[in-house]
Amino acid sequence: MARYELVKRSVALITLTNPPVNALSSPVRHAIANSMERALSDPKVRAVVICGENGRFCGGADIREFAGPLRGPPLIPVLEAIEAGDKPVVAAIEGMALGGGFELALFCHYRIAQSKARLGLPEVTLGILPAAGGTQRLPRLIGIPAALEMITTGRHISAQEALKLGIVDQVTDQNACETALEFALKAVGKPLSPRRVSTLTTPCPPDLDALLEAATMQVKKKTPGVMAPLACIQAVRAAATMPYSKGMKRESELMATLFNSGQARALQYCFFAQRTAGKWTLPSGAQWNNSKPREIRSAAVIGLGTMGRGIVVSLARVGISVIAVESEKKLLENGRQMVIGMLERDAKRRGVSASLNLLKFTLSLQDLKDVDLVIEAVFEDMALKKRVFQELSKVCRPGTLLCTNTSGLDVDALAGVTDRPHLVAGMHFFSPAHVMKLLEVVCGPRSSSETIATAMSLGKKMGKVSVAVGNCPGFVGNRMLKPYLDQATFLLEEGATPEQIDKALEDFGFAMGVFRMSDLAGLDVGWRVRKESGLTGPDVDPKNPPRKRQGRRYCPIPDMVCEQGRFGQKTGRGWYKYDKPGDTNAKPDPLIQNLLETYRSRYGIQPRNISDQEIIERCLFVLANEGFRILEDGMAARPEDIDVIYLFGYAFPRHRGGPMFYASMVGLERVLERLEHYHQAHPDVPHLEPSALLKKLVACGSPPVQQWREHIKTMRSHL
Ligand code: 3H9
């Protein structure tokens, strides 16, 4: 777990050897303690260098150990022995020094960083704080404002920034370990006291209170209800106002309040869920680690609407040449200008030059004959998409992969009109596609493992969090969204207001409630889909009861809102009113109040007081219930995949872990009981009927979310 060598006859080189990120697991802490003891007691050793194997210094504490009781030596005494020693210790930072890894470096007397290394204290993103002295040592080294920013955001910084801030002593383009060995020899004999960060006085700004207050306001605004950033601020205050030893005590007290919190569990679950989600499997046995993706050098995007433009930008900025296709000259020209503008702004922000030379714009599908992959992003209309796929099948060379950016149509039906169904898959981007991190890769029953491997790997290359899902209406994300939106409108019928529902969801942690979000997205899209599927509009049988469709409860209020030309922010009116079209400041609208009151009295609905708890339960338990059905149907491989989809595609609050994790935290038994209760009250809402999988899990004693997969195994898989 750590290799000990004597090099240059007088330097002890301690190499952490715990792949893949040299996390500070119990055996590693043990090995560091033993190695330091050996180095300090060996008279031949005059200096020590600590580095990590495989070009990675250290990724911090072993997060997997957080779930169990502490085993092995605690980290802080191990690190204190490094600082207290009478021989200079140099950290040779290659790759990354994060969390406890960064703290380890802060206990060393000197730090040398390779120029590509990244450093940071990301603990806050895991719901905890840097509790191996990070909150007390970093402010002493670089001052309160810079330390506060790094600790409360968890931002990783470059080696160059670390040098500028005074965190590292030298940055090298060479091997950091070699440089550190030379450096260590030169440090021998120099006084160590000024190099011990614990002895430094924190430079305290005169406006400390105002600074901390401003930071508090900022984190409350950015991450309302999240505990860890606030605890970080309190710990940094201790660094400014208390002696080191007392500050360390305060840090440890604050850590104790966070460590076992539900938020920390949720955020750590998210960390692993995000990494698990990339590990896809198909029923054939093909999976992420036995299927080879194709290399994609050239791609085409068909349709330059909002989605198509974002997809072109996502491809071009990772160096893939793109042919963008539109059906009319005017649309093509408009799309070209938008894409170029987006790429130029994006490049400016990232400080690189825009890759405009990779782009080609055309009106002709014939130009696509040699591309490696096509992503169709035309209007959401099956007949149109089928025509495009038939055409592509004729035009593209036989090996070209054909993908569709549909948000819910049948991918296999599209595959069926081509000459290569095995090379067809869905790539469902989220709007705006160059910003949103989620990509649902839709595996049709005929999609080959190579096709899925390629779509997943292309997603990763574009910086997306890619999740493989099965081919069912709405796939995973949008399939779950429908019952959630339905509950919100049913609650309106029963007496709630859009403001009340939004506030309950925002207090829960969503950045925007469902109605504010719908206003932002545009209400006309859903209205068109409902009209096309015969739920509203002239196709509805006049004998049909207005609040029922196919025997199920239906709420026509969203249709009524659209009939008034209220399409959301873009028209300046939606569920809320805005000062002008395009404005974002949502204000309650008395006209909507009126509409709701008239509606209720027309249908004889007596409005009742609805509690926030009912809003949360009905909206979120129904969301999870559909998630259970998706798992039952084999359309998602695991609950983690569903949670990742909701975290990255629908802004589910990360400190709640995602809908499935949230359900497990509430307790499956309680979720089942509440769903049964609400279903009894609303028997015409089938989505409220508890799913078979939920019942099965409760019958098995409500195992933790990580074990659900074993219970799902016996069910049918489309993945
Ligand atoms: C801490 O340090 C607390 C202390 O302040 C105080 C203690 C008293 N532990 O991300 P990747 C796994 S809290 C365990 O795909 P990359 C990861 O799950 C910690 N496992 O690679 C994955 O496993 P698998 C503060 C870890 O190259 C594999 O390594 N540190 C840890 O894209 C590869 O990971 C952090 O928050 C860990 N610490 O990115 C840093 N880190 O192959 C967390 C990774 O089975 N880590 N794994 O799926 C990261 O941000 C990224 O992993 C890193 C590498 C940037 C290091």
pLDDT along the chain (719 residues), means of 10: 95 98 98 98 98 98 93 96 98 98 98 98 98 98 97 98 98 98 97 97 94 97 95 98 98 97 97 95 91 97 96 96 97 97 93 90 96 96 95 96 95 97 98 96 96 98 97 96 97 98 96 95 90 88 89 96 96 98 96 97 97 98 98 95 97 97 98 98 97 96 93 72
- What are φ and ψ of residue 415, in 5° steps? -60, -35
Helix (H) or strand (E) holding 5: strand 2-7
- Count of CB atoms within 10 A of residue 293's CB? 18
Residue ranges with strand state E in 151-209: 157-158, 170-172
In the structure encoding, which two tokens stand for residue 248, read together?
A: 């360390």
Instruction: From residue 172, give the alpha-carbon distance in Å to each of 16, 80, 117.
Output: 20, 27, 10
Q: What is the pLDDT of residue 715?
A: 58
Backbone angles phi, psi at 179, to 5 degrees: -65, -40
Q: Closest Cα to residue 91, out of 121, 49, 28?
A: 49
Q: What does the alpha-carbon distance between residue 482 and residue 490 come to, in Å, rounded to a whole number? A: 12
If you take atom 40 of ligand 1, which residue's CA is the nearest one?
59
Q: Is 264 in the pocket of ligand 1 (CB under 6 A)?
A: no
> Active site includes 103?
yes
Radius of gyration of the chain (CA): 29
Distance of CA 12 to the CA centre of its chain: 41
In the block, tokens 């009981």 appear at 673
Q: What is the DSSP letter of 620?
A: I
Interatomic CA distance for residues 539 and 275, integer angstroms: 46
**Inter-helix orientation angle 100-107/134-142, to 10°:** 60
**Is residue 23 lining ligand 1, measured as CB closer than 6 Å?**
yes
pLDDT of residue 714: 58
b/e per residue, 38-63, with b = 16+ CB within 10 A?
ebbeeeebbbbbbbbbeebbbbbbbb
Q: Give the DSSP letter of residue 193.
A: G
Exactly one of 123, 251, 376, 440 is catalytic; which is it? Answer: 123
pLDDT for the residue 546: 87
Residue ranges in 634-719 assigned as alpha helix (H) = 639-649, 659-666, 668-681, 692-699, 708-712
Amino acid identity, residue 712?
I
> For residue 80, how far is the Cα from the chain centroid?
35
Put the strands of the sheet holding 321-325 in their side by side order: 359-362, 321-325, 298-302, 373-376, 401-404, 424-429, 438-443, 465-470
In this structure, the chain runs to a length of 719
Kindly name the residue from 5, 83, 94, 103 that is annotated as catalytic: 103
Ligand 1 center–CA 179 separation, angstroms: 26
CA of 122 to the centre of ligand 1 (A): 10
For ligand 1, atom 48, the nearest C-alpha belongs to: 275
- Residues in Cβ contact with 400 at an 8 Å cutoff, skipping those fewer than 6 apart: 368, 371, 372, 373, 374, 392, 423
222 is written with which tokens? Answer: 């950015």
DSSP label at residue 201: P
Q: Which atom of ligand 1 lies nearest, measured to the CA of 75?
A: 8
Pocket test for ligand 1, best of 63, 156, 288, 654 (most atoms within 8 A of CB): 63
Nearest to 288 by CA among 416, 457, 140: 457
Contact 253, 242 (CB under 8 A): no
Q: List residues bridging with 114 in a β-sheet.
A: 172
User: Is the separation of the CB atoms in 430 and 649 below 8 Å?
Assistant: yes
Structure tokens at 509: 């942690």
Q: 10 Å Cβ neighbour count for 495?
A: 15
- Helix-strand-coil percent breakdown of the chain, rounded to 5? 50, 15, 35
627 close to ligand 1 (CB < 6 Angstrom): no
Q: Calculate the dihedral angle through the C-alpha atoms of 136, 137, 140, 144, rounding to the nearest 10 degrees.
A: -60
**Contact (Cβ atoms closer than 8 angstroms) between residue 336 and residue 326:** no
- C-alpha 97 – ligand 1 centre gap (Å): 11
- Side-chain half-sphere exposure of 363, counting CA atoms within 13 A: 8
Distances (CA, A) of 488 to 181, 324, 476, 716: 63, 39, 19, 31
Span from the CA of 59 to the centroid of ligand 1 (angstroms): 5
Report the amino acid identity of residue 515. Answer: F
CA-wise closest residue to 18 among 71, 73, 56 = 56
Residues forming a β-bridge with 442: 426, 469
pLDDT at residue number 19:
96
Rounded CA-CA distance 407/377 in Å is 10
293 CA distance to ligand 1 middle (Å)? 25
State the CB neighbour count (10 A cutoff) for residue 699: 11
Of 331, 274, 279, 275, whose CA–CA distance to 308 is shortest? 331
Residue of the nearest CA to atom 15 in ligand 1?
Answer: 275
Residue nearest to atom 9 of ligand 1 (CA): 62
21 Cβ closer than 6 Å to some ligand 1 atom: yes
Pairing of strands 110-114, 89-93: parallel
**CA 421, CA 426: separation in Å to the nearest integer?**
12
| Separation between Cα atoms, residue 377 and residue 367, nearest integer Å | 17
- 47-52 and 89-93 as β-strands: parallel, antiparallel, unpaired? parallel
| Among the listed residues 230, 231, 234, the one whose alpha carbon sits nearest the alpha carbon of residue 208 | 234
What is the distance in A from the centroid of ligand 1 to the CA of 21? Answer: 6
